[in-house]
Copies of this chain bind each other. A is one copy, B any other.
Amino acid sequence: MFLGEFRHTMDSKGRVVIPSKFRKELQQGCVVTKGLDNCLQILTKKNWIEESEKMASLPPTEKTSRQLRRALFSGAIDSKLDTAGRIQIPENLRQYSDININDDVTVTGSGPVIEIWSTKVWKKIQNDADKAFANINEVKG
């Protein structure tokens, strides 16, 4: 179970530090995938296998299942932490998440997965979420 919010930067080689609290669970390797709203997700090996097996069992003759398979697998990458607890983010995922070299990055624990955000995007998302929350309360009240 991953919890919390952490600020880091992407180093000049495209690496991001994973908060030390998260490292133990990722020791056996992890998979980075595209998440919703332009974030990246880090899954444990175990978690990934569950997700991908669902996908692999879909019939390849159907168009939507082909699409799903392609999106999931092409957007994923098998990885592991280096000795300094960092993870390498490949070019295509950097583009997807809009995180460039030396950018500020926010790493959040989100239950079973870890999410990686461009801090710029994260702030906006959070702002929107807060607004929505405020509105709900106004309506209620």
Contact = CB atoms under 8 A, between A and B. Distances in A.
Interface of A: 1-5, 7, 21, 31, 34, 36-37, 52, 55-56, 60, 64, 66-78, 90-92, 108-112, 115, 125-126, 128-130, 132-134, 136-138, 141
B56 A112 contact: yes
A23 to B, nearest CB: 14
A131 to B, nearest CB: 8
A45 B110 CA distance: 17
Nearest to A65: B132
B68 A110 contact: no
Q: A-B pairs with the 6 shortest C-beta distances?
A: A71-B133, A71-B129, A74-B108, A67-B132, A67-B129, A70-B129
A82 B126 CA distance: 30
Contacts of A60: 36
